[in-house]
Structures are given as C-alpha cells and as structure tokens.
Chain A
C-alpha cells in the first residue's frame, strides 16, 4: 500500500519529514518497502524566469535565453519552441543529474554558444505533464523555489501491511499509530452525518450468511464526470487511475479509511430491492456475472452475490467487484451507494477462486472495521454532495454486524513480565487509549473473579477495527511496539546444567561423524531436493500415491524420494554433461516410505563415478571395492558392529546390478546398508552413463551403542608371543562366495585364529573348469605359550576341515 505525506497530514498534525515518518512506521511494525521522494531526487532543480529569448546565431531551432536563476542570471541555450521571455520554468545547473534523461549536465558549447545550465520539460524531471516543450509554471512562483514544491510533487511511501492489521490499509489508521508513537497529533476522524431528505426508494435484504450487514442510501440528481485535480492527483500519486468522480470517491475512502464502498447507477437497477445472497447453482451450472473489469465470472454457491430484480440478476460479487451492468458513467444521474460488511474467509475464498485481487477484496479478506459501516457511507455522501451535487435519501441498514470485541482483563504489570520493558502503568494505559482501546475499571466482574485479581487490573476493550487483539499478550505487544522495541533489555538466559556428554542424540552425532568422515574420504557433500520425479521414485521402490504432491513446483519434482541415490545419480549425470564426469558425492538426509512420521528415515548415500585422471603409474582403476572400503570404514567409524555383519550377496534391491551388489545385514530383518554397482537399466532410465558405484546406509538401522556408566576401555592385554601365519589354497565352485570360506577358516579356532585373509583368487590351468582357487592367509596368535609344530599341524587340519565343510577343497 502507498500514501503521500500530505495525505497523512490530513489525519495527523505533524512537522515530521518523510524520513522521520518512515522511521516511526518501521518501529511501529509497518515494513516500509520503498520511498520515492521527489524533494531528494529533484534537489538540484529550481524555479527560474526567462528574461529574454533570442534566436541562436548558428541554429534556426535554438534560442539563447537570459534566465534569472537561483545562481544569478545565466545564458542558457534551449531548443524548446515555448522558450520565451517572461516564462516561469525550471532550471537545472551544470552538474545536475537529470533523471528523465539519465545524464549529468556538463558545460559545453551548443553550436558555438556555451549553455550554462538547462531549462527542463516535465518528462526530464520524471513528472510528465503530457505537454510539449519546457515546463510552464505559475508566474507567482519565486525564483529559487524547489521544483518539487513548484510541481506539487511529494514523497510517496510504499509499505507492506501484515495480515493482522487491516486498519493499516487506510491512511487514517496509520495516522492513529503514528500519533500514539508521538509523531504528531491525531485529527478528529469523526464524520458528521448528512441527514436524508427523502425515504430511500431501494429496499435491502440480506441473508446473514452471504452478507451479515448492508447499509445504503439513494442520492439523486448528481453530476458525474472527471474528478477535480486534487482528487485525481491524490489517486495518481499512489498509482491508481482516476475513472470518474463517483468511483474515485469510493476509491479514495478505500485508501483513506480502509472502507470499501460501491456505487450503482440507480437507473440501471431492475426493481426496487437489492438482495445479498449466495450464488445460485442451477441446471446449467453456476450463474454468471460480467464484472467491472469486463470479464465473466461464475458465481458459485460459496460466493456472496449482490443481486437486483428480486434476487434474480447478479449485479456484483459482494466485497470483491461490482457488475458492469450497473456501473456508473458520466451519464449517471441517480446513484445507490453501498457500504456493507463481508465475511473475511468467504471473501478470501472468492478472491482465490475468481483470481480477483481488488482493493475491496483485499480489505474485506483481512476484515474491514464493522464500525465504519455507516460513517463510511456518510463520508462518501458528503464528498458526493460536495463534488457532484445531488440530494441524499435516508440511510437504510439491513442485517446485523458481528459483535464488537469484548473486554480483556489486563494487569499493566504483565507488560514487564512478558516484554521485560519497564513501563509505568499509566503510560501503558495511555498508549492503549491513544490506539483507540477503551479502558475501564473492571466493574461488573463477578466478585469471585475480581478477588483473584490485584487492584491494578483494568478492563481493556479493543475498538472494532482491532479484532486482531483478543488477549492480554496482544495488549503487551501494543504497548511494547509503541513504547519502542529499542528499549528492550538484554537479559542473559538463566544458566542451565549442560547435558552431560553433549546435546546430540546418538543418531544426530552419527550423522555428524558420517559427514566429516565421508568428506575426509574424498566425497563432496551435496544437499539435493527431498523430491524427485515419480518415474525416478518408482525405479527406487517409491512412487506411492500418498507421496505424490498435489501441487509440485515442477513435474520432475512431484514425488517424495524413497532413496537419495536417484538424486545423486542425476547430479553425477549433470556434472558429466558439463564436462566433469569424475564425481564422488554423498548426502545425508531424509527418505520417505509413507506419509507418517515413522515412515521417514535418514540415510547416508554416496555414489562414485570413477573417471580419475590417467596416471603414469598404471595403478588399477577404482572399482566397486573402493566404494566397499569406504563403506566399511564409515560403518566402523559410526560404531556399527562391522565384524558381525553378513554380506548378503545378490539380495540387494532391484536398482543394483544383480551380480554386483549386496546387503550388509545383521539378519534378513536388520539391513544396515546396500552397496554395489547401479543397474545399467536404471542408469539408462535416468539418462546417466555408467558405471556408477554407490551405497546407502539407513542410519536408524545401525544399533545404538550400549549406554555405559563409565567410558573406561577394556584393559590392554597384548600377547607377548609373535603371531604366525599359514597359507592355504582351496578349490571351490566358481559361484561360491569367498566370504563363506573366509568365515569358515576364521571360525576354525576362535581362540587362536585372529584373521583369515584372501590373498589370491585364481581361475585357469591347474584348476578344473567351473571352479576357482582361493588362497587364504590365516593369522594365528598364540595365547599363553609358543605353539609346537604338532599343535600348528593340528590347527591347520582344523582349518582345512572347516573350509572343506563350507565347500572348499584343499588344493593339492
């Protein structure tokens, strides 16, 4: 919303500058977005008088003028045809920035004659008057008068109003707050009623639902036409287009008092009754209305419709926009003036459905003051009689306004308790009174209730234009913002005992460790959308209807992701298309398997698209086992029971390469992670080149560490004896997982064997077709004595027996 300083001064007696008003508005809670101040913009421009204008010696169209200016008499070259002796106009000195031209004036000869400044047109000052040539001003303006003043230009303040303060959608409401804040004195906003001279010939009926209360009056014999200059200028200054006097008056009051009105051309009304009712839905669908904007709207049964012809013909959408059929024109002679009150929720909904965001709709949707119903009508009457003449009827009111706000019991000491501001009770109550609140002793209270309150408790009743205030905390805000938040104390929070061992839950702490560990391992962390496309979600086991957005921002972001992997894969693809195919990315974030809180999990996902630069050392390329190493290291860092994890080969989800993926699990129901090479068909569907390796850990699936009373670690008990190693080679079926043999070997003697490691896998001559040879190094740690050869032989036999049981035959 916008207003000008002079408009504000209609309601507020103040000497404050635009800057001071803006500062006060800001601290009262009005967010000022922009101030256009011509006095600043045109500071260099002043009124001047042309003394003489002689033809330029070297150019037919130019004149050389002698001009009396604020800087004395100047010789100025001017090309305007209206440059003539005796003209009062505007002068710009050398060095002035001319906003309409976007140039700064420099002293330079014009066809051989030096011009010591410039005489300006309206458009050059961005104050277009539509006229040709330089400005022609009133001769009684003194030389040196600021151009902004001479042109009647003034500061326009553009600001935003929060939805709780519809009273700020009128200049008078802002004046009230500024007066309370000490910026000036509020002028009496009351309006003397204009008595009617005849009964209103139009009857009004309301159903209480479509419109709770509706007032109106008939004014006959008006003369409509273009508005006087002051009214047109006032509307133009805030960006409104003048239409005709009757309409302009309603627009003025909309912005002046936050009170929308409507005028009907009475000659175009059918019948003698205006009915406010809900829209009709007939056999041919909803009824239609051609509104003042020329567009046709469907009036649904949820909308408030103003109708004539015994309720048959829609002539307006109540509180939103009037109909074209009964609009006022220059030919209008008799009018019916409407001042009604429409329900905020209904009006807001009508605005959404129709897409109409008119000044009236905006205000009714935010609650118009019920107290301004008849006063608004009277103010409009007064202005119509003044500007258009005519004769008013009596005022008719139909329906009942919603009840006025009730009293709030208020202890001024609560101001300090809630805000910390030390404000005397008298000052608090004065602020509330200045804002229009009625203060009274808490009389009429039931005795029992009164006894529970201290003496200082008063009864505060909000005015009808402050329905946002309905409790004592609201009253504290009123006092605090007018007294000024700048005075808020800075009070340290009371010390509280620190959480022993940090404030993070184990899961939160693990996410933090995972982030740092993966970054240290060479992965770049990304944050990608929680959404993906339904198509991609379906590839990764998601896409359920309950996770598809009804109003996505884009069609490829329409579904909550079931996995982070599709986002990472697509990111790898985007990087590759930019010429950077080598990526290692990870993300820690939510995935969604349903729309209930327990269906949301946190996963840690990473992908590796290995395209490392070629090396001179012929080192083998990274492969799936690089990712496995990173995954295992990370799980160890997170405290997962890595030694107990089963690698369930071939049981991972469908988006993995079936032969190159596995689950890491404690059991089939306790899957901690999946890893592998992404399925080529999935990559193709996502239009990303492979191979891409990756993993995804479900953070919640990692068992929480046991809580211990102390952090003491078990005693360090190194064996004094040297470990020894024995090598074995086993032949087994080609499809047999090596892990089975390793597990068997390691388990052959849990007391002595500390590790079993694969150091060779071989297929080829010497090994039968369809079989492979796996070489294991078994590490033996003697415990209390050195092992004898016989004991070592016995242990070896146990290893061979265990592995043979698992399907591996000792290679001879």
Chain B
C-alpha cells in the first residue's frame, strides 16, 4: 500500500503547487490522463486475481477520487482568484457624475388647468373650446352687452383693424363666446367648462395682456342658484384640497347673468402669504350667476323652459394663490429658472386616485 500512499502525497503536492490553471491541468493529465500515474494503476487491475483486484481496486479508486476532488477544489480556487484579480482591475470611480440629463416640467398654469378639468370632469362637465379671435356678436352682443355700453369699455378689448365691410374682429375678453357657440350648436341639457386663453389690454403685477380662464355653463330644467353654490363650493374645496373652504356669495353685476354674484373664499392674510381655509379675511375668487334670459334667447334657448348658471375664473390667478407665485407676469416670461422652480413633474397628472399635484 505504501506506493499508493506515496503516489497520493505526490499528486496532492503537485495540485497544491500548481500556480495557474495550465499548471493544474498538467497535473491532472499526469495523474488522471490516459497515461497518467493513477490511470496506469487502474490498468494493472485486469491482471489481478479477483480477491486481490477487489482489495487493490477499492484503494486505487479512493486515490483517484481524492486526486479528482483536490483538482476540482484547486481549480475553483484558482478561478476565484483570477476573477478577483480581474474585477480588481476593473474598478470604476463611481463618484464621477452620470451623463447629464435635463429635467423637464409642466407649466403651473397648465397644471392648474389640468386640475380644474379633472375636478369638473368628475362632476360630469365636458370640455368645450373655441377660437381666440372672435367677432362682436359672440364676445359681446349675444352676451347681452348693449352696443356702446360702458360695460364693454371695462373689458379693455384688443381689436383688429376694421374690414372693408366695417366688421371688426377682436381677441376674446373672456371664454364666454365658447358658451355662446356651445348653446348655439347643442341642445340642453348642457354641462361644459370652457378653458382657454383670454386677452385684455392691461399690464401690471396682477394683470397681463393674455391670461387664462375656465368658465362653466350648466343649462337644464330647474337649475337654480343653489346648484351654482354647491358646484362652486365643491369645486373650491377640491381645488384647494381642503375640508374647510368657506365661501361667501356677494351680489355683483355682469351683463350676461341675472342674478349675478362674486364668490369669495375665507383666507388668512397674516404673515405675507394667503392661506385658504383659515383666517378671517375674504378673497375674491370668481364671478358667477344665473344665465341672463336675453343670453338664452340670443342662443335659441327658451328661458321659460330652461335656465342655468355660468361662472368664470382666472386659471393663472388661482394657480398663483394655490402654489404661491407672486407675480402674474412671470408666468409668461419663460425664465428657465422660474420654470424649474414652479413647474410640475410630468408624472403629476391630476387624477382622483392620487390627488391633484
């Protein structure tokens, strides 16, 4: 048996001494290859007696298994070491910056408008649109503004030059012409909002020559001011994302509604910023009222059969109130820093499940 013991010690020593995979493979060939030392011993078994073969065979197989195990272990160890060495050479400095990627944003006015559309859609309002360049009929006459009436002057209208036939186009001063177009083209019941750009000749911190409105119109049988109040209260609470929005309706005058009202929300003005839903001040938010019978008549709707309400609010202004932008003019200045600061994530699309912004 001594020869086997010696051989085992010799092979294992060679395995241990192998410095790389090539050397290890040479050891494998010299021991377990076709002409290897251990393979050679196995070949001698054929010439032995059965008893001798049984005893001697078992011992040689043990030797072969041990050699094989040692070779496998050593191979795994060498491979691990090689991988470790390669990985060590592949180190990256991860404190280096990733490639530059711009961060986009959604404009606060458009975010606000999307919020309003989402809230009113939940209440069953469709979205109606119309042209920015309007004629006198849709912007004024159909809305019960008598010709040359002082109320027209209060609108600071942008006009185009008169045409040869005397017609003078204008930029709509409110989105109410969309209401007119809707009533002229649809039969009641009507439940729409009309978001869009509006224009007045005015410019200071709270007025710009262009701004955005969302107007609403509901025409049906039996609609009264109580429905208007509920609609606006519900909208304002959802818009300001508060349980405690308190509103006040004050009589006012608009040519196109009768009775007319302005709606205030209770707010706190102490400390420089306006907090909706608390405090003791009132802040005017929007104008509204029951659609004037003359407007219904001008749009082919019988005021003795149908009645309804309309309201209008400034989108930019409500956005400023909700999100704290101080100056209306900045909304239209396209300053990249402002857009990054006040803009909204692409993924903040308002919805009933995750909220408005």
Contacts and interface: CB of A to CB of B under 8 A. Distances in A.
B110 interface: yes
Main secondary structure of the interface of B (DSSP, over half): mixed
A374 interface: no
Contacts of A418: 224-225, 259, 290, 307
Contact of A515 (B110, B132, B149, B203): B110
Nearest to A523: B104
Interface in A308-352: 344-345, 348-349, 352
B260 A490 contact: no
A549 B156 CA distance: 13
A580 B337 contact: yes
A526 B104 contact: no
A419 B346 contact: no
A163 B253 contact: yes
Given A530-B197, A600-B132, A485 B307 contact: no
A419 B130 CA distance: 30
Contacts of B161: 545-546, 548, 550
Contact of B227 (A420, A549, A574): A420
A381 B71 CA distance: 131
Given A26-B250, A590-B132, A520 B336 contact: no
Interface in B130-156: 130-133, 147-151, 153-154
Contacts of B106: 515-516, 519, 525
Nearest to B202: A553
Contacts, number: 266
Contact of A525 (B248, B259, B293, B339): B339
A349 B147 CA distance: 12
Contacts of A592: 132-133
Interface stretch (A87-95, A504-512, A656-664, A759-767): A504-512
Given A481-B251, A496-B189, A490 B229 contact: yes
Given A545-B161, A549-B160, A489 B226 contact: yes
B110 A527 contact: yes
Given A529-B332, A551-B201, A476 B248 contact: no
Contacts of B209: 529, 531, 553, 557
Q: How large is the interface on B (under 10, 10 to 19, 20 to 34, 35 or more residues)?
A: 35 or more
Contacts of A552: 158
Nearest to A610: B102
B261 interface: yes
Contact of A503 (B126, B220, B258, B333): B126
B292 interface: yes
Contact of B126 (A499, A522, A568, A583): A499
A29 B123 contact: no
A238 B110 CA distance: 45
A495 B159 CA distance: 41
Interface of B: 96-97, 99-107, 109-110, 114, 117, 121, 123-127, 129-133, 147-151, 153-154, 158-161, 163, 168-169, 171, 189, 191, 197, 199, 201-203, 209-210, 212, 218, 220, 222-227, 229-231, 233, 248-253, 258-262, 290, 292-294, 303, 307, 331-337, 339-340, 343-347, 349
Interface of A: 26-29, 31, 162-165, 344-345, 348-349, 352, 365-366, 416-421, 471-474, 476-477, 480-481, 485-486, 488-499, 502-505, 508, 512, 515-531, 545-553, 557, 560, 567-568, 571, 574-575, 578, 580, 582-585, 588-590, 592, 595-597, 599-600, 612-613, 615-617, 619
Given A476-B259, A488-B226, A519-B344, 13 more contacts: A418-B224, A419-B226, A471-B293, A477-B259, A485-B250, A488-B229, A498-B124, A519-B346, A520-B104, A524-B343, A527-B109, A528-B332, A552-B158
